[in-house]
Amino acid sequence: MNSNDETTKNKTEVITPPATSTEGATPSCCANNKAAVESTTEQNSETTIKDAVTNAVLKEKVKLWKRASAALALLLVVSLAVDFSVMPFLSNITTHVPSTPIALAAEVLPDDGVALPIKWNDLGKQMLDTGVIDVDKFEKLYESRGGMSDETRMLLYGVSDRELRIHRDNAQELLNLLWAFGLGNKSPILETGLMTSYDGKQATSSEVARAKAGRMAATGGWPLSTGNPMDHYSAHEFVVLSEEQWQLVEKIASGIFRPCCNNPTHFPDCNHGMAMLGLIELMVANNVAEDDIWDTALAVNSYWFPDTYLTIAKYKENEQTAWKDVSAEEVLGASYSSGSGYGKIRQAVEPVSTGGGGGCGA
């Protein structure tokens, strides 16, 4: 009985599965929506941060431009108040571009030459008549060089009241004419100056003085006179100067050097020195202003020593000084134009070479 009841009980007992708790669980579709919401929130947060940064940068830029505008406005006000222009100041900030050798030559040795402020008149004829220039020797010299130019022939044989100009084609011919004039014109500089006292001793007689002067290239080396060149040394009054005018000649001649040696023009021991002395005497005789004498002397020296003065012009340009602005008196001085002075210039700048000028012979 009991067993049957037990069997029946087992058969009728219903086994109920345990209940599954759903508390805190989220269906899968809701989980996906929540993730999407969270992602959108994060993106919106990042966008907000970026916008904030961008706005901050823009605000700083606006502040910067406002400050710059205010500074510029203040500068313009000050400019008007003190009559100061900003543009010229800015225009001075330039890059220096060195001139080419051709450009330098155009400034230092212009093709159309430089006017000499002297009246030549019949000086050539006077030098032929006195024998300072021997016509046959002079003609023969230039025959060997292709002939004398028409201009030089007029200066030698004729009477010229035309403007006399020195240029590259006639520089050497004018050098010889002025050499002869400087040698022959009566001059206290030749008689009592350094030509006769270069050794620190005054000559005891005119004979001793002439003997000392005759040892120089400018005198014994003049090959184109009639007879002994010393027969013409300071012997002819081609131009007559006052004592005051001679003092001016002495002053200027003392300050003009030449690169073939270390001597100034008032010690004219070579052809360039003697020719320059003659040119100074002619300019003083023509009452040329002192500044113009210096400028003319620099132009003439430049044609006689082209490489020297092209190199000096290059050196001065490196110092930001254009050739037209140089001081002729300074450049003709010992620091630039003497042999030793020019040697220092050559060490400071690459020399310009044209292969012309500078020779100390006829």
- List per-residue pLDDT tens for the chain, 362 residues long: 444 444 434 433 444 444 444 444 434 333 444 444 344 444 444 444 455 545 554 565 656 666 766 766 666 555 555 444 444 443 444 445 567 778 889 999 999 999 999 999 999 999 999 999 999 999 999 999 998 999 999 999 999 888 999 999 999 999 999 999 999 999 999 999 999 999 888 888 888 998 999 999 999 999 999 999 999 999 999 999 999 999 999 999 999 999 998 999 999 999 999 999 999 999 999 999 999 999 999 999 999 999 999 999 999 999 999 999 999 999 999 999 999 999 999 999 999 988 766 667 77
> Would you state the structure tokens that stand for residue 2, as one six-digit string?
């009991």
Question: What count of residues does the chain have?
Answer: 362
Helix crossing, 271-285 with 290-304: angle to 10°?
150
In DSSP terms, 160 is beta-bridged to 121
Closest Cα partner for 338 from 346, 327, 350?
346
**268 vs 253: CA distance, rounded Å:** 9
Q: How high is the pLDDT of residue 307?
A: 95
Q: Where are the alpha helices (DSSP H) in the chain?
A: 2-12, 28-81, 86-91, 101-108, 123-130, 135-143, 150-157, 171-184, 188-192, 194-197, 206-213, 243-255, 271-285, 290-304, 306-318, 328-331, 334-337, 339-348
Q: How high is the pLDDT of residue 100?
A: 77
300, 166 Cβ separation under 8 angstroms: yes
Q: How high is the pLDDT of residue 206?
A: 87
pTM of the model: 0.73
**354 vs 357: CA distance, rounded Å:** 9
Q: How high is the pLDDT of residue 269?
A: 95
